[in-house]
Structure 1
Amino acid sequence: MIDPQLLRSAPEVVEASQRARRADVGLVAAAVRADADRRDAIAEFERLRAEQNVFSKRVGAAAKEERPALLAQVKQLSAEVKAASERSSAAEAVAEEAVGAIPNVVLADVPEGGEVDYVVLREVGEVPSFDFEPRDHLELGELLGAIDMVRGAKVSGARFSYLRGVGARLELGLMHLALDRALEAGFVPLITPTLVKPEIMRGTGFLDKHADAVYKVEGEDLYLTGTSEVALAGYHSDEIVDLTGGPLRYAGWSTCYRLEAGSAGKDTRGIIRTHQFDKLEMFSYVDPAEAEQEHARLLAMQERMMTDLGLAYRVIDTAAGDLGSSAARKYDVEAWIPTQGTYRELTSTSNCTTYQARRLAIRHRTESGRTAPVATLNGTLATTRWIAAILETHQQADGSVVVPEVLRPFLGGLTTLQPLS
């Protein structure tokens, strides 16, 4: 939820964010009205309740002959207080819905526009070239006995796969490398739940713009998570956290599930876009004043992984209209996929400022002693789709694949993945 004080004092800032997102600017005026109505209703309720308390005291001190008239007035006030309370509750619900419909206010220099309006911040590494016709990652995966999409489809349907043999070892190696890097950086590892309550899913913003990608468990009031960000954000919901020693940083390892509704035709071959995958997700709770610095820190960790894996990549500043409802800014890190001749997103990191924390009631104690919402940030440090870029980038003419040096200790010293035959 956006800061209600910002909505009241500077609605033009919220309107500018909506325009940058190509979203409905009219939501802002509606939210301002609903917020004002809510405050008026609360004030009226409190006025009547105070008046009721005064009359109640007068009844106790009144002479016997005065009491019947005063009691009648108290009864009338009691009815008015009850009606005012109901109006206040109704106004509160309307205001909460109206303010909650507005996505996070984007940071001032985030690019305006939609999916194609991103800004490339930098390109890093040499785009690989080959003196042979390169194979795509699925063909390589089949040659290596690493990826089995046919049996994945047989058992579970389209966009499911088996990682087998060196494919399974590659994924575990990637995840363990990322975990080691996270531990070095002071992150606390968590194996997170992959089923969460609706209030946690809603609080992180995944029942808003991303609702068509979420699996709902039939017959249960639970959702499958598409990222451990959801469970990591919920970890400290309804709590006051201690940030006096610096940010709280967690690394969540989990299997993730995405329905991918509406994504027909987008990277449907292979393992770049599947319904199930594993991921190591970084998540930080920080003082809002430190959020942008923390965002740069998460991005630097992701870029180090790309460089050490020998991948050519670029970093883009995602346009406002392509952000999820919770993000105030998101950087995508896209690796070069040789057989597609383009960059594809491998990972991203988002600064959600105080938006998720307000919805999930996560606060910290400020220097003044008061409580205030924290800022939350997230970023992926390893996931299944990275295997596609690794296989294609490091392939050889005979179908073998050179293992990046940083992964070799996690594969028993293996330097090259060889075709099965």
Structure 2
Amino acid sequence: MLDIAFIRSNPEIIKEGIRKKRMPMDVDELLSVDEELRKTRAEVESLRADRNRVSKDIPKLMGEERDQAVELVKNVKDRMAQAEPRLKELEERFDRLMLMVPNPPLDMVPEGDSDDDNVEVRRFGEPTQFAFPPKDHLELAEGLGILDMPRAVKISGARMYFLKNEGALLEFALFRFALDLLVSKGFQPMIVPQIVRRDAMIGTGFFPLGEEDTFFIEKDQLYLVGTSEVPLVSYHMDEILNEKELPKHYCGYSSCFRREAGSYGRDTRGFYRLHQFNKVEQIAICVNDPEVSMKEHYLLLGNSEELMRSLGLPHRVALACGAEIGQGQVLKHEIETWMPSRNTYSETHSCSSLHEFQARRLRLRWRGKNGKTHYCHTLNNTAIASPRIFIPILENFQNEDGSVTIPEVLRPYMNGMERIEPKSK
């Protein structure tokens, strides 16, 4: 959420941000509602003041003067009966519109309509070349005996899976490696709630625009999170942090749940789009200084790049274009990893800066040395998400006999295992 005072003073900046992000939003409608709301609120406050003033004087009055005062109070109440419902209606409409306003992207964000327009920043390694016909990750996983999708579909429906045997161990190894890396850099590890209230989803900016992609527990009015970013950033909701505490660095492990609404028919084979997956997320909370939050952005991005280099996976870092940036982000980098079966680099990590967008919604502030409070800046980035990361690991490190070489940094977490061997049928 943005500051309405900033929107009033800079409507063209907001309109340009809407255009660049390719998001439908009528700023003029918001400003019109805002103006009418302020007039109606002033009218209601004036009526309430008149009612209270005259009502207070009535016991002191006598005769005709008292009758006139009573009649005046009645007229005021009649006018309030019309104005107050209108005020409530305008407040609700204003709040809905404010939740739809996108955060204007930074000037460095390139123009573009899709991920095809993302701008490559740097690259690690080159696409893997094979001296034999390579298999895709699904063929490999089935041959290695680490995956069972048919039974998962029978139990839970489409886009579900059982990860088993060395596959389960490999996922735990990935998460432990990622957590150890982040903890060594001072990040506080957390296992977080995966069911949250609506306030947390609105506060982190996943509602209202992302509501259709979220699993809802209707009986309890609770939601399954699509990322541990939601509970991690909401952790300090309604709090005022001391400047000395900042920046805050957290890394959270959770299962994640997404309906993948609107993606049916796309990426249905294998591990790319699933209803349930696991992830280690990293977040930062800092003072609302653009220079400070930019340093935090590159810190989070650097952590993920270090992890990917350690795994030895060919990847590139891309600056996301305007249409690929979400409602709250002012800046986003993606790490796209080479996936041989897709014959392209595909997203495995997303690093986002949101400035005050989430903090305003969550009422998350910090107090400086002068005693004044300010809204924080928040940032987030994937550390590792599984099983999507299995696509490049299995495909890039496959061998001609169908075995897969385990990245060296993960072997200590797998009791020294160097390869996953195919299982005989």
TM-score range, shorter chain: over 0.9
Tell me the alpha carbon deviations over residues 320-371 of structure 1, each in whole angstroms, 9 at most, x when there is no partner: 2222222222211110012322111111111122122222222222444333
Tell me the alpha carbon deviations over residues 98-122 of structure 1, each in whole angstroms, 9 at most, x when there is no partner: 2222222222221223213222222
Counterpart CA distance in 1 for 2:255 and 2:40 is 46
Kept in 2: contact 1:210–1:324 (CA 8 A)? no
Question: Which residue number corresponds to residue 253 of structure 2?
Answer: 253
Residue 288 of structure 1 aligns to a residue whose secondary structure is coil
Report which stretch shifted further, 212-221 or 347-356: 212-221
Question: Which residue number corresponds to residue 39 of structure 1?
Answer: 38
State yes or no: 1:113 paired with 2:112: yes
State yes or no: 1:341 paired with 2:338: no
State yes or no: 1:402 paired with 2:405: yes
Counterpart CA distance in 1 for 2:389 and 2:59 is 76
Tell me the alpha carbon deviations over residues 62-92 of structure 1, each in whole angstroms, 9 at most, x when there is no partner: 5777444334334433444554444333222
Counterpart CA distance in 2 for 1:106 and 1:367 is 30
State yes or no: 1:92 paired with 2:91: yes
Counterpart CA distance in 2 for 1:113 and 1:77 is 55
Task: Please give the root-mean-square deviation of Cα atoms over the aligned residues, in Å.
Answer: 2.2
Shift, 1:164, TM fit: 0.9
Q: Unmatched 5+ residue regions in structure 1?
A: none
One-letter amino acid of the counterpart of residue 413, structure 1:
G
Instruction: Give the 3 Å change call, closer, same or farther, for CA 60–244 of structure 1 in structure 2.
Output: farther
Counterpart CA distance in 1 for 2:208 and 2:372 is 31
Question: Which residue number corresponds to residue 373 of structure 1?
Answer: 375
User: Percent sequence identity over matched residues?
Assistant: 40
State yes or no: 1:419 paired with 2:400: no
Residue 391 of structure 1 aligns to a residue whose secondary structure is helix
Question: Which residue number corresponds to residue 186 of structure 1?
Answer: 186
Tell me the alpha carbon deviations over residues 118-144 of structure 1, each in whole angstroms, 9 at most, x when there is no partner: 222222223221211122112221222
> TM-score, normalized by length of structure 1?
0.93
One-letter amino acid of the counterpart of residue 177, structure 2:
L
Tell me the alpha carbon deviations over residues 131-159 of structure 1, each in whole angstroms, 9 at most, x when there is no partner: 11122112221222222223222322222
Question: Which residue number corresponds to residue 301 of structure 2?
Answer: 299
Counterpart CA distance in 2 for 1:131 and 1:65 is 105
Report which stretch shifted further, 164-173 or 184-193: 184-193
Counterpart CA distance in 1 for 2:421 and 2:312 is 19
State yes or no: 1:138 paired with 2:150: no
State yes or no: 1:350 paired with 2:352: yes
Counterpart CA distance in 2 for 1:70 and 1:265 is 71
One-letter amino acid of the counterpart of residue 4, structure 1:
I
Residue 24 of structure 1 aligns to a residue whose secondary structure is coil
Question: Which residue number corresponds to residue 159 of structure 2?
Answer: 159
Counterpart CA distance in 2 for 1:394 and 1:65 is 96
Instruction: Give the 3 Å change call, closer, same or farther, for CA 323–208 of structure 1 in structure 2.
Output: farther
Kept in 1: contact 2:100–2:209 (CA 8 A)? no
Report which stretch shifted further, 238-247 or 225-234: 238-247
**Residue among 327, 331, 334 paired with 2:333:** 331
Kept in 1: contact 2:288–2:374 (CA 8 A)? no
Report which stretch shifted further, 303-312 or 145-154: 145-154
Counterpart CA distance in 1 for 2:53 and 2:221 is 46
- Segments ≥4 residues shifted beyond 6 Å: none
Shift, 1:58, TM fit: 4.5
Counterpart CA distance in 1 for 2:257 and 2:69 is 64
Shift, 1:245, TM fit: 2.3
Residue 333 of structure 2 aligns to a residue whose secondary structure is strand
Counterpart CA distance in 1 for 2:155 and 2:64 is 85
Shift, 1:393, TM fit: 1.3
State yes or no: 1:5 paired with 2:35: no
Counterpart CA distance in 1 for 2:63 and 2:295 is 70
Counterpart CA distance in 1 for 2:410 and 2:197 is 36
Kept in 2: contact 1:170–1:387 (CA 8 A)? no
State yes or no: 1:22 paired with 2:25: no
Residue 315 of structure 1 aligns to a residue whose secondary structure is strand
Kept in 1: contact 2:246–2:285 (CA 8 A)? no
Counterpart CA distance in 2 for 1:330 and 1:60 is 65
State yes or no: 1:230 paired with 2:230: yes
Residue 245 of structure 2 aligns to a residue whose secondary structure is coil
Question: Which residue number corresponds to residue 388 of structure 1?
Answer: 391
Shift, 1:170, TM fit: 0.7
Shift, 1:184, TM fit: 1.7
Kept in 1: contact 2:243–2:369 (CA 8 A)? no
Q: Unmatched 5+ residue regions in structure 2?
A: none
Shift, 1:402, TM fit: 1.8
One-letter amino acid of the counterpart of residue 417, structure 1:
I
Counterpart CA distance in 1 for 2:93 and 2:269 is 45
Residue 355 of structure 2 aligns to a residue whose secondary structure is coil
Shift, 1:259, TM fit: 1.2
Residue 244 of structure 1 aligns to a residue whose secondary structure is helix
Question: Which residue number corresponds to residue 216 of structure 1?
Answer: 216
Counterpart CA distance in 2 for 1:143 and 1:361 is 51
Kept in 2: contact 1:203–1:356 (CA 8 A)? yes
Instruction: Give the 3 Å change call, closer, same or farther, for CA 47–218 of structure 1 in structure 2.
Output: closer
Counterpart CA distance in 2 for 1:86 and 1:150 is 55
Shift, 1:168, TM fit: 0.4
Report which stretch shifted further, 51-60 or 183-192: 51-60
Question: Which residue number corresponds to residue 286 of structure 1?
Answer: 286
One-letter amino acid of the counterpart of residue 245, structure 2:
G
Question: Which residue number corresponds to residue 267 of structure 1?
Answer: 267
Instruction: Give the 3 Å change call, closer, same or farther, for CA 320–41 of structure 1 in structure 2.
Output: same
